[in-house]
Amino acid sequence: MSKRVGLILAALLVVAFAIPSFAADVKIKGDFNNRFMVYTDHNDWLDSEKGVLKDGSSSETWGEAKYRMWFDASTNDGKVKGVYALEIGALEYGKPSGSPAGKSTGGSYSGDTINIETRWLYTDFQLPWACEKARIRMGLQPFKVNSYFWAETIMGVTGDFAFGPVNVNLAWLRPVRDETKDPDDDMEDLDAFYARVNFSPIDTVKVGIFGVYMTGDGDDDPTAPGYKGVSSQYYQVKHLGNRTDLDLFNLGVDGKADIGPVFVNWDLIYQTGSVDSTNFSESYSGWDYNKGRADEDFDVSAWFAHIDVGMNFGAVKLTYTGWYASGDDDASDSDFDGFMSVDIDRADSICIMEGGFVDDDYFSENVGILDKGMIFNKLALDFKASKKLKVGASIIYMMTAEDIEYTNPETGKEYSDDQIGFEFDTYLKYKIYDNLEFAINAGYLFAGDAMDFFERDSRDSTTHYDSMDGSADEDIFLSTCRIRYKF
């Protein structure tokens, strides 16, 4: 491992010192993030949509490191640029070495997901015949449609064009490739096509209108043994792969306005189309708690709305954040009414999302819970005490847009609820030096009764459901910190 890293860095340094002779400007940037789980009483919850809440305490403390470094080589006039970024981690203290089983290599959603990860690998250049801004970027690159819909690394070709006060973005993206070798088999790739227009009707207001069309053909038989299809547990486009026939249209408008000390941000997205020839199961931890729908065509009709409203009072900022992600109210029909993001990382909650600094360990990175959507309300207060010190606190109230309906498999009793609960978060950030930061945060979720769905007994190695009684019994606490060096 260390030998391989050393060889990579040595080769990059050779290139970095050689490039100046070709009239290029080379910059090396880094983000060395040392993160620690100070304490959590429910480590069983932080398992990427697989988390459960065992009765009692599943306490844990650990440390880890995630380091990113990127090399930016551009011509002196800035018309051509090449970027290579690598990531190592998150490497946990004491964890056995080696890539986790089942991790893929290549340029799919979020990068290639191995221990030494190619984070970015792209070329960016100005079109020579364009009189104004017209740049093309191709390769594995950071890509953002909207932070609530799609904002992650992906392979593709993107274009950024300026026409006076109007900016236009276009993209073709290839999240999944079906590398077929069989002459009798069709190529069944997943492609995405993106267009956006940004403009400012007045100086203090910015507006964007965008559309994303995703299309792909499934290459598996939904009736074959082992076919997984779509589940409420992994209700994101990135989990579909090329297993389904997908035609997904997404239309949205977003923007921001600054009126003196008041600021407003907004997002509105409508989603329609179809997910055909697939199976749907409301499954969790391998247990099918509702009748699945097999080899069926599903119509998509979902939407998402978000708003931030805030005010700056000198060193103090007060912000209200609210969003609504539609949910699916009937698992037995042929409709997908739950809003389905593509690939995002949300850090709005420490206990539910990726708000902890050990952000590879979380329950959800999504705007909703399962396929039930989310009604999210947050009031946050931030105070910049000095140039070096910033503190803040927030209160969050969360509920699903549609009830989580479930049955205790042992007693047969049925339950239904939508209350995720109240969460209290706080943080402190301190600049030890200009480029070295210490930060610590903590969150406590007073669980609402919908969290009862995730509860399991832990009296032995066999799963039991005595605690699944319609009433939430397990609150969640976690505190994390980091020391981060950026250059």
Position 467 scores a pLDDT of 84
Q: Does the pTM exceed 0.85?
A: yes
Position 252 scores a pLDDT of 98
Q: Which of these, 171, 104, 105, lies nearest to 143 by C-alpha position? A: 171
DSSP state of 100: P
Neighbours of 203 (CB within 10 A): 7
Position 153 scores a pLDDT of 95
Residue 3 parent element (H or E) = helix 2-18
DSSP β-ladder status, 134-146 and 116-126:
antiparallel
Torsion of Cα atoms, 229 then 231 then 237 then 238, to 10°: -80
Position 140 scores a pLDDT of 97
pLDDT (tens place) for every residue of the chain, 487 residues total:
444 544 444 444 444 444 444 457 999 999 999 999 999 999 999 998 889 998 877 899 999 999 999 999 999 889 999 999 999 878 888 877 554 444 444 455 665 455 688 999 999 999 987 767 899 999 999 999 999 999 999 999 999 999 989 999 999 999 988 776 555 555 578 899 999 999 999 999 999 999 999 998 876 777 776 677 888 888 999 988 667 889 999 999 999 999 999 999 999 999 999 999 888 887 664 445 445 677 889 999 999 999 999 999 999 999 999 999 999 998 888 999 999 999 999 999 999 999 999 999 999 999 999 999 999 999 999 999 999 999 999 999 999 999 999 888 888 888 999 999 999 999 999 999 999 999 999 999 999 999 999 998 875 555 678 888 999 999 999 999 999 999 9
Cα separation of 243 and 148, whole Å? 24
